[in-house]
Amino acid sequence: MLKVVKVRLYPDSQQQQSLAQAFGSCRWLWNYCLNLMNETYKETGKGLSGYEVKKLIPQLKKENDWLALTYSQCLQQACLNLGVAFNNFFEKRAKYPRFKSKHGKQAIQYPQNVKISDHQLILPKIGKVSAIIHREIEGKIKTVTITKNCSDQYFAAILFDDAKEKPELIAEGKSIGVDLGLTHFVITSDGSKFDNPRILNKHEKNLKLKQQQLSRKQKGSNNRNKSRKKVARVHRKITNCREDFLHKLSRRIVNENQVIVVENLHIKGMMQNHCLAKSIQQAGWGMFCTILKYKAENEGKIYQEVDRFFPSSKTCHVCLNQVGSLPLDVRYWTCEKCQTKHDRDINAAINLRDEGLRILTSQSPQVGKPAHGAGSSGTGDKAIKCGLGGFPHEQLHQEACRPDVSHSNRGRKKSTTTLSVGQEAHTIPSGQCG
């Protein structure tokens, strides 16, 4: 299984200079090749592949002797990456490749020959760079990407193969429906609601101030440069806080559940609503789903998306009665048929879970089967069966309303505290349950 670990690097001033040289050379080469590809296409109607431009490097080195100062494989990799960028564009995964700027984030990539020793990364032509390696890196190192961000921090993303097979996906265990929202970031079918941290709002005033200060500085001045770094620092803070929140919450959901069902949101479309665009963007739903997916799959758990047109809010999860319309400001409603009182979001999350389980059962028939042997603890069976129509609410709700599992948080601030457990929403009048 391929894994990536990102570590912080602390190059000394000499190394910083060599890195700057390498960043510059690779950037120049990328831009040169991109321009060449554009021109060739205009003249002949045919493009060049990454391999074809790679062959030009020896000639370019003769013309520009400073290119030889950079490790040759980094240069080659820049050409190959450009080829990949074009492929991604033609297969509609990405936009047209752009020219790289000397402002902003810089990167080079080593396809091989990087070694790791204690607290050090040994890079060809750069030397031993001190690093904080906070995680064990076991296995064959594939590529190492060195980046420098706008606030002059250096990182290395180390891709390695740990030679282990990806775990098989197992559906037996607790399942959960996750509804994403703006007031509460996550609402689960368990009845837990996690508050949206709205990190941008907290830093907005500070960001505005720093941006105003920047705008008053003269272009090209030293003070402008200093001010630019201050703005970058605020942006970095916001990103770090958001990622921290998303990682902690997704880790918690993945640890506690085996099957995770999420709505497949059309985020780009929702962003068209300019009143909500900013809130949606700062919430980071897309990133959250990506994180949930890889965390689940790395542990043999199932991540399932439900079609966005599935009427999760409007359906009563007890009797499956659908109401015609449910305006957004209605947070609580009562089902006409079975008189169940619903919390809008929790009901939606439960429906998502049931629908996800239905999809899983229809995809692979063995998912719904009871576990072999009476000895199995079988919480999974309950959860899976409930997707098929039988609703063992009593057991489910006992599970759902159990107090939070307390983890030792190893001195870290826990940013994913449950806001409220909607007890009220769970109480289903007896006799109504199927």
Tell me which residue has tokens 């609703």. 391
**Positive or negative torsion for Cα 231, 236, 239, 242:** negative
- Nearer to Zn ion by Cβ, of 325 and 417: the residue is 325
Piece in contact with Zn ion (CB under 5 A), picked from 75-83, 91-99, 309-317, 386-394:
309-317
Q: Does 348 bind Zn ion (CB under 5 A)?
A: no
* Range 263-302, binding Zn ion (CB under 5 A): none
Give the DSSP H or E segment for 419.
strand 418-421
8 A C-beta contact, residue 137 and residue 7: no
**Residues forming the active site:** 179, 263, 345
8 A C-beta contact, residue 271 and residue 140: no
Q: Does 316 bind Zn ion (CB under 5 A)?
A: yes
Q: Which residues of 70-88 are buried (b: 16+ CB within 10 A; e: fewer)?
A: bbebbbbbbbbbbbebbee
Residue 375 has what DSSP assignment? T
Q: Which amino acid is at 68?
A: A
Query: For Zn ion, which residue of 60, 150, 170, 338 counts as binding (CB under 5 A)?
Result: 338
Tell me whether strands 302-306 and 259-263 are parallel, antiparallel or unpaired.
parallel
- Nearer to Zn ion by Cβ, of 72 and 321: the residue is 321
Q: Does 337 bind Zn ion (CB under 5 A)?
A: yes
- Nearer to Zn ion by Cβ, of 175 and 315: the residue is 315
8 A C-beta contact, residue 352 and residue 306: yes
Piece in contact with Zn ion (CB under 5 A), picked from 55-63, 165-173, 224-232, 308-316:
308-316
DSSP per-residue string spanning 60-80: HHHH-GGGGGS-HHHHHHHHH
Give the DSSP H or E segment for 148.
strand 140-148
Query: For Zn ion, which residue of 281, 321, 379, 418 counts as binding (CB under 5 A)?
Result: 321
Q: Does 335 bind Zn ion (CB under 5 A)?
A: yes
Give the DSSP H or E segment for 132.
strand 127-132
Cβ 355 to Zn ion, closest distance in Å?
16
- Nearer to Zn ion by Cβ, of 109 and 340: the residue is 340
Q: Does 57 bind Zn ion (CB under 5 A)?
A: no
* Range 203-242, binding Zn ion (CB under 5 A): none
Q: Does 262 bind Zn ion (CB under 5 A)?
A: no
Tell me which residue has tokens 């960001």. 207
Q: Does 425 bind Zn ion (CB under 5 A)?
A: no
Q: Does 319 bind Zn ion (CB under 5 A)?
A: yes
**How big is the site for Zn ion, counted in residues (CB under 5 A)?**
8
Cβ 191 to Zn ion, closest distance in Å?
17
Using DSSP, state whether 8 is helix, strand or coil.
Answer: strand
Piece in contact with Zn ion (CB under 5 A), picked from 86-94, 98-106, 158-166, 337-345:
337-345
Cβ 334 to Zn ion, closest distance in Å?
9
Binding site for Zn ion (CB under 5 A): 316, 318-319, 321, 335, 337-338, 340
